[in-house]
Amino acid sequence: MEEEAEENDYGNDEELNRATQNTISVPPNVKCQDEPKFIVFYSTLLSLFSLFCFRCKKDKPTVKMLRNGTMVTVTQYCDACQTKSFTWRSEPFVFGRYPAGNILLSFAVLMAGASISKVLLVFKHMGLAAYTPRSFFYHQSRFLIPTILMYWESY
């Protein structure tokens, strides 16, 4: 009882600061590279999307997940909605069709001077969804190097 009261007591400045620091506040229209990102577990996504159909509110739709590198696409299949299933993507697209997390991961690895094979090995040990090294080299030659060169020449 005593312990519980202490945990909920934000009268202490340090406790208040800690609670404020952990609160996420993002201004509207923030760019995708600047917004916070999170690690999400399969089971928690499944429990959320299994609750009810997000289109018609009917109970317990079937849920399927499809991976595209670091992005997951969740689709609800509902008896009532049939073909008009509800679909949700975990990341916004950049350049029209590339999941932002995939391009940002490639950019971050290049900027950090890190090794893509080591980074992907960390992801593998963690069970984190990721792309292949081939995608990293494609992003590098198609987007990253041209962008860096363009910036260098205009600077």
Interface residues toward Zn ion, by CB under 5 A:
53, 55-56, 58, 78, 80-81
Identity of the residue, 80 or 145, whose beta carbon is nearer to Zn ion in the bound complex: 80
Q: Rounded to the nearest whole angstrom, what is the least distance from the CB of residue 48 to Zn ion in the complex?
A: 16
Residue type, 52: F
Q: Rounded to the nearest whole angstrom, what is the least distance from the CB of residue 20 to Zn ion in the complex?
A: 40
Q: Rounded to the nearest whole angstrom, what is the least distance from the CB of residue 65 to Zn ion in the complex?
A: 18
C-alpha 133/C-alpha 43 separation (Å) is: 27
Identity of the residue, 63 or 109, whose beta carbon is nearer to Zn ion in the bound complex: 63
Strands 62-68 and 98-99: unpaired
Identity of the residue, 86 or 123, whose beta carbon is nearer to Zn ion in the bound complex: 86
Identity of the residue, 19 or 56, whose beta carbon is nearer to Zn ion in the bound complex: 56
CA-nearest of 90, 119, 97 to 107 is: 119
Identity of the residue, 35 or 59, whose beta carbon is nearer to Zn ion in the bound complex: 59
Residue 142 in tokens: 């198609």
Q: Rounded to the nearest whole angstrom, what is the least distance from the CB of residue 33 to Zn ion in the complex?
A: 35
C-alpha 127/C-alpha 94 separation (Å) is: 25
Q: Rounded to the nearest whole angstrom, what is the least distance from the CB of residue 89 to Zn ion in the complex?
A: 19
Q: What's the longest Cα–Cα distance across the chain?
A: 65
Please report, for residues 16, 19, 49, 119, the alpha-carbon distance to residue 13 in angstroms, rounded to integers and kept in the order given. 5, 10, 39, 39
C-alpha 116/C-alpha 134 separation (Å) is: 10
